[in-house]
C-alpha cells in the first residue's frame, strides 16, 4: 500500500534550523531534526551568521530527518511538498555567478546600522521615524533589511563591484535558501514571498510591489531585488539531496508561519511565539491598519497568486529566548537552555532583581535603538538563581507590554507557543 502523503517544513530560525515532516491531515509531526547555528558577534552590537552554514544546517536537517523516516520504514518519496519559514529581515547578498555569499548574513537584531537609521530619521520631515509607515507599516529602525543593505553597499567593496557588474543578488534567508535549493548558479529561483518582502522596508504593503520611491530613499538598486510571489505556489523544485524533485511550494516569514500554524485565520485571532525573540501577531484581515501605538503592520499571508493578502499587527520583542542563550554563552551560569528552569524554580522569585535585556535596543512600542540592557536591584543575597528568574520574568514583562498595546480591535484568542514554553516557569510567570 502506498504511504500517506507527507509535507516537509524548513524552519530556519535565528538560533537553530529545523526540518519537520508532517502528516498534513492530522498536523502530527512524524519526524524532525534540529541544528543550532553559530552566531558571530565581531563587535559590540554586531550579530552575523554564515549563509553557507545556514544552508548546510538546513541540508543536514533534511537529510537527518529523511534518515529518521527510513528508520520508521516510511518511504521518503511520501514527502510531496516543502515549505520554507525563516528568521525575517536578516540580510544576505551573494554572487549569482559563483553562488557564494559576498558578506556574512547581517542578523535582524544587529545594531550596526544605528547611525544609518539615525541619519535617515534626521533627514526625514520633522525628524519623524514614522515617515515611511503609511507605505511600509514600519518605523525607520535598525531592525529592517533596507538599512542593513544600505550598510553593506556603503561598506563592502566586493558587494559594490558585484552590483556594478550585475552579479549581486539580495535576499532574506527564505530567498537565499530557495535560490540555493532550486539549483543556485544553474537554475536557482530568485524569489521571496510577500510576508518576507514586507520586512525589508522597500515593499509597498498596499500595492504588494517593490516601491521605486522607497528604493530611492534608501538608494538601493532594484536590479538586485528578488521577484515577490505569494506565500503558497510552486517556486521551483529541489535540485539536490534525498528530496531532489520535490516542489518547494510554501514560503512565509517565521512569525507569519506561526500565525498560520496556530490557525489564526480570523481578524482578532492572535499568537505569541517565544524563540530568539518574542513576537505577538494579531490577524487584522484584508485591510492594513496603521498603528498609532508602536505596533508594526505586516503581511500575514497570501495563500495563492489570486488570493487576497491578509495583514497583521505585530508587537516585536527582540530578546526572548536569546536572554537564556546569553546566560549560557556569556555568563556561563547554565550549560544548557533547559537548566534555566531549575535555577528559577529553586528560588521562585528574583527578590527585587530586575533584568532588562535590551541587547538590541528596545523594539515595540519604543523603537529605541539607543537603549541597552541592565540588571539592577542586586544585593549581596542575589545569586545566579535570582538572575535566571529575573531573565525569565523579563520575557514575561515584555510579553505583557506587547499584549497591552492598543490594537484597534480586541484580541479574541491568544495562542502562545514555542521552545521557551517547554520551560514551565516562564509560562507560570
Ligand atoms: N527549555 C528551554 N528553556 C528556556 N529557553 C529555551 C529552552 N530551549 C531553548 N530556549 C531558548 O530559546 C531560543 C531558541 O528557540 P528556537 O525556537 O529554536 O529559536 P529560533 O526559532 O529563533 O531559532 C534560544 O535562544 C534558547 O536560549
Ligand atoms: O528566530 P525567531 O524565531 O526568534 O524569529 C525571528 C524573527 O523572524 C525576526 O523578525
Cα 102 from Cα 92, distance rounded (Å)? 8
Give the model's pLDDT for residue 426. 61
- Counting as low any pLDDT under 70, the low residues of the chain are 1-2, 406-429
Q: Which CATH superfamily is domain 265-429 in?
A: ATPase, nucleotide binding domain (3.30.420.40)
Cα 130 from Cα 77, distance rounded (Å)? 49
Cα 52 from Cα 102, distance rounded (Å)? 11
Dihedral, 327, 329, 334, 339 alpha carbons, nearest 10: 80
- Integer CA distances (angstroms), 382 to 309, 355, 357, 379, in order: 50, 12, 18, 5
Beta strands in 302-418 (DSSP E): 310-317, 354-356, 374-376, 413-417
What's the whole-number average pLDDT of the chain? Answer: 93
Are 358 and 336 in contact by the 8 Å Cβ rule? The answer is no
Q: Residue whose CA is closest, atom 1 of ligand 1?
A: 338
pLDDT in tens, 123-182: 888 889 999 999 999 999 999 999 999 999 999 999 999 999 999 999 999 999 999 999
Going from the Cα of 159 to the center of ligand 2, the distance in angstroms, rounded, reads 26
Q: Residue whose CA is closest, atom 12 of ligand 1?
A: 321
Give the model's pLDDT for residue 1. 43
Pick the closest to residue 110 from 136, 128, 92, 84 (CA basis).
92
Going from the Cα of 275 to the center of ligand 1, the distance in angstroms, rounded, reads 5
Are 16 and 36 in contact by the 8 Å Cβ rule? The answer is yes
What number does the ligand 1 atom closest to the CA of 338 have? 1
Cα 242 from Cα 252, distance rounded (Å)? 23
With cell 539536490, the residue in question is 240
Q: Do domains 6-255 and 265-429 have the same CATH topology?
A: yes
Q: Where are the domains of the chain?
A: 6-255, 265-429
Q: Residue whose CA is closest, atom 5 of ligand 2?
A: 87
Are 193 and 231 in contact by the 8 Å Cβ rule? The answer is yes
Distance of CA 178 to the CA centre of its chain: 16
Q: Residue whose CA is closest, atom 6 of ligand 2?
A: 87
pLDDT in tens, 258-298: 999 999 999 999 999 999 999 999 999 999 999 999 999 99
Q: Which ligand places an atom closest to the C-alpha of 315?
A: 2
Going from the Cα of 88 to the center of ligand 2, the distance in angstroms, rounded, reads 6
Residue-by-residue DSSP string for 125-180:
GGG-TTTTHHHHS--S-TTSHHHHHHHHHHH-HHHHHHHHTT-EEEE-HHHHHHHH
**DSSP-derived secondary structure letter, 38:** P
Partnered with residue 251 across adjacent β-strands are 84
Going from the Cα of 1 to the center of ligand 2, the distance in angstroms, rounded, reads 40
What number does the ligand 1 atom closest to the CA of 325 have? 27
- Integer CA distances (angstroms), 315 to 12, 349, 400, in order: 21, 27, 11
With cell 497568486, the residue in question is 305
What class has domain 6-255? alpha beta
Ligand 2 pocket by C-beta < 6 Å: which residues? 13-14, 87-89, 108, 253-255, 275-277
Going from the Cα of 427 to the center of ligand 2, the distance in angstroms, rounded, reads 19
Cα 354 from Cα 368, distance rounded (Å)? 20
Q: Which ligand places an atom closest to the C-alpha of 420?
A: 1
Q: Residue whose CA is closest, atom 10 of ligand 2?
A: 88
Going from the Cα of 376 to the center of ligand 2, the distance in angstroms, rounded, reads 27
Distance of CA 323 to the CA centre of its chain: 16
Going from the Cα of 118 to the center of ligand 1, the distance in angstroms, rounded, reads 31
Are 285 and 311 in contact by the 8 Å Cβ rule? The answer is yes
Q: Residue whose CA is closest, atom 3 of ligand 2?
A: 275
Pick the closest to residue 88 from 69, 71, 105, 108 (CA basis).
108
Going from the Cα of 109 to the center of ligand 2, the distance in angstroms, rounded, reads 9
Cα 106 from Cα 150, distance rounded (Å)? 12
Give the model's pLDDT for residue 379. 96
The reported pTM is 0.94
Cα 164 from Cα 391, distance rounded (Å)? 47
**339-347 vs 384-404: helix crossing angle, rounded to 10:** 100
Amino acid at each position: 500500500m502506498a504511504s500517506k502523503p507527507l509535507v516537509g517544513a524548513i524552519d530556519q530560525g535565528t538560533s537553530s534550523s529545523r526540518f519537520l515532516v508532517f502528516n498534513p491531515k492530522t498536523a502530527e509531526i512524524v519526524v524532525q531534526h534540529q541544528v543550532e547555528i553559530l552566531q558571530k558577534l565581531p563587535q559590540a552590537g554586531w550579530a552575523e551568521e554564515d549563509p553557507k552554514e545556514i544552508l548546510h544546517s538546513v541540508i543536514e536537517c533534511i537529510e537527518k530527518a529523511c534518515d529518521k523516516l527510513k528508520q520508521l520504514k516510511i518511504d521518503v518519496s511520501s514527502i510531496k511538498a516543502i515549505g520554507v519559514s525563516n528568521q525575517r529581515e536578516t540580510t544576505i547578498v551573494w554572487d549569482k555567478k559563483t553562488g557564494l555569499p559576498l558578506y556574512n548574513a547581517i542578523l535582524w537584531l544587529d545594531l550596526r546600522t544605528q547611525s544609518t537609521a539615525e541619519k535617515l530619521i534626521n533627514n526625514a520631515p520633522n525628524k519623524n521615524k514614522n515617515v515611511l509607515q503609511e507605505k511600509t507599516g514600519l518605523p525607520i529602525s535598525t531592525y529592517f533589511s533596507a538599512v542593513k543593505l544600505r550598510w553593506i553597499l556603503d561598506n563592502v567593496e566586493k558587494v559594490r563591484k558585484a552590483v556594478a557588474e550585475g552579479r549581486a543578488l539580495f535576499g532574506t534567508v527564505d530567498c537565499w535558501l530557495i535560490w540555493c535549493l532550486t539549483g543556485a548558479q544553474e537554475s536557482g529561483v530568485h524569489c521571496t514571498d510577500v510576508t518576507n518582502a514586507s520586512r525589508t522596508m522597500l515593499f509597498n504593503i498596499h500595492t504588494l510591489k517593490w516601491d521605486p520611491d522607497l528604493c530611492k530613499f534608501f538608494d538601493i538598486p532594484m536590479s538586485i531585488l528578488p521577484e515577490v510571489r505569494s506565500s503558497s505556489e510552486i517556486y521551483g523544485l529541489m535540485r539536490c539531496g534525498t528530496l531532489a524533485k520535490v516542489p518547494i511550494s510554501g514560503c512565509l516569514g517565521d512569525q507569519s508561519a506561526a500565525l498560520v500554524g496556530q490557525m489564526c485565520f480570523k481578524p482578532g485571532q492572535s499568537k505569541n511565539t517565544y524563540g530568539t525573540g518574542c513576537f505577538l501577531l494579531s490577524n487584522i484581515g484584508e485591510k492594513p491598519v496603521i498603528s498609532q501605538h508602536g505596533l508594526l503592520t505586516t503581511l500575514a499571508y497570501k495563500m495563492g497568486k489570486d488570493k487576497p493578502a491578509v495583514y497583521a499587527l505585530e508587537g516585536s520583542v527582540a530578546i526572548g529566548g536569546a536572554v537564556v542563550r546569553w546566560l549560557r554563552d556569556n555568563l556561563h551560569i547554565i550549560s544548557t537552555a533547559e537548566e534555566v528552569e531549575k535555577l528559577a524554580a529553586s528560588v521562585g522569585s528574583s527578590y527585587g532583581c530586575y533584568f532588562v535585556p535590551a541587547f538590541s535596543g528596545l523594539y515595540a512600542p519604543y523603537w529605541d535603538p539607543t537603549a541597552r540592557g541592565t540588571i539592577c536591584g542586586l544585593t549581596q543575597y542575589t545569586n545566579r538563581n535570582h538572575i535566571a528568574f529575573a531573565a525569565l520574568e523579563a520575557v514575561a514583562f515584555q510579553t505583557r507590554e506587547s499584549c497591552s498595546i492598543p490594537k484597534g480591535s480586541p484580541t479574541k484568542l491568544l495562542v502562545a507557543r514555542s521552545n521557551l514554553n517547554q520551560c514551565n516557569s516562564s509560562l507560570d510567570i
